[in-house]
Amino acid sequence: MRFEIKGEPLPVVIVYLDANETVNCQKGAMSWMTPNMKMETHTGGIGKAFSKMFSGESIFTNTYVSEGGPGMIAFASSFPGSIIPFDISKGDMIVQKSGYLASQPTVELSIAFQKKLGAGFFGGEGFIMQKLHGQGMAFVEIDGYVVEYDLQDGQQMLIDTGYLAAMSSTCKMDIQQVKGIGNVLFGGEGLFNTVVTGPGKIYLQTMPISNFAGAVAAVIPRS
């Protein structure tokens, strides 16, 4: 499978398949394709259906196969930002809810529970994130532009709510309360921040969709 990513800040990943090669995607992700691409919709079983539902995805997965020769299919992002390719063969990835866009069929999507309840209830991306594991390439949507950091063992990054888009499964996530009652009441940064501890790589997004929605709502006239 070959691919290219074009068009930031409104990106699309174009995937080129050999004959009989397949690719999976989330519901409604296909943008355009060659006529020989055949679609099949499935859940992958009860267990996988519940896993996808709780991790923010549709319980249905679309699989496209290139019949009778090479084919091409494109998957566009649903929000202005970036599409990041991850080679899951090099290590599992934890990504934000609804971040999964498409992948080779050898990549598995499951729930990633935070081990600490504090991180779950207050840590920005919530108690449930998505885990990508297995083999092959996966494509993940990130809101806005992406900034990458490679954390060493024990190195930490303090992140405001919603800005953590993805991280290596070797990273640990927790929450930290903002210190000082004045900072909490008047600082505009909320009560908690997310703390990610290495080793591993983290991917931060510059415009979480929740922040964008809040900014738009603030300027819409109310009747």
User: Which sequence spans correspond to the domains of the chain?
Assistant: 2-208
- 159-183 residue pLDDT tens: 987 899 999 999 999 888 776 554 4
Q: Which residues of 95-105 are buried (b: 16+ CB within 10 A; e: fewer)?
A: bbbbbbbbbbe
**Averaged pLDDT for residues 103-108:** 96
Strand residue runs (E) in the chain: 2-6, 12-17, 22-26, 30-33, 37-42, 61-66, 71-76, 81-87, 93-95, 100-103, 107-113, 128-134, 137-143, 146-151, 156-159, 164-168, 172-177, 192-197, 200-205
Averaged confidence pLDDT in the chain: 83
CATH class of 2-208: alpha beta
Among the listed residues 193, 203, 210, the one whose alpha carbon sits nearest the alpha carbon of residue 118? 193
- Bridge partners of 134, per DSSP, are 107
| Choice among 148-162, 173-187, 195-209 with the minimum mean pLDDT | 173-187
pTM: 0.82
C-alpha distances out from residue 218 to 98, 100, 149, 202, Å? 24, 29, 32, 30
**Averaged pLDDT for residues 56-74:** 87
